[in-house]
Structure 1
């Protein structure tokens, strides 16, 4: 048996790690110098390190930063929800920006004249 792949925020001791598609893309770690946020959404060998005032601020920053890079073309709020959702929370498969645009155009085309 294999363990389910982590998804969303997972706590390891004092640190919080953000997982996406089976890999850790961000971590928020308290330390002697405050809160450090490590963002790994770039190329494998590049990490971005920033400071935060609190763990919750670091988590919010990491969510938005990673969502903007991983789910390009998806509105930020929806991208953050998809990024932080647990596997059982995925009711619908994720759609790309092109698919969303095609769905919107199709629904507009199917509306009756005079309907808006």
Structure 2
């Protein structure tokens, strides 16, 4: 038996977005997937970046957690949000609980849809 058409039980939890801390480890999340992790270890700080493809990870070293987070933000922003200015791309990537600002064409489409009169049934 199939669930009703308005069944949304498979995706009720909100997706993580931005930096999330688990103990000493920090993870950068986007679209429900961790794309970067910053974790202290014996040699300093290890930064793992996985923005390219699912199976490709890049590991680099950093002097501090803050430096590792800045590097991860810029590296992931350049690859995930291509064509967007770096400052805006980092702001979008790190933003939490705020939907991205709609583009000009999306706002025009919304205005057009709002202008259509609702038919009465």
Q: TM-score, normalising length from structure 2?
A: 0.73
Runs of 4+ in 1 over 3 A off after TM superposition: none
- In structure 2, the partner of 1:31 is 41
2:55 counterpart of 1:45? yes
Please report the RMSD computed on the Cα atoms of aligned residues, expressed in angstroms: 1.7
- In structure 2, the partner of 1:18 is 28
Gapped runs of 5+ residues in structure 1? 100-116
CA distance in 1, matches of 2:100, 2:65: 29
Gapped runs of 5+ residues in structure 2? 1-8, 106-121
- What is the CA distance between 1:4 and its match in structure 2? 1.3
CA distance in 2, matches of 1:91, 1:73: 16
Alignment match of 1:92 (pick from 101, 104, 107): 101
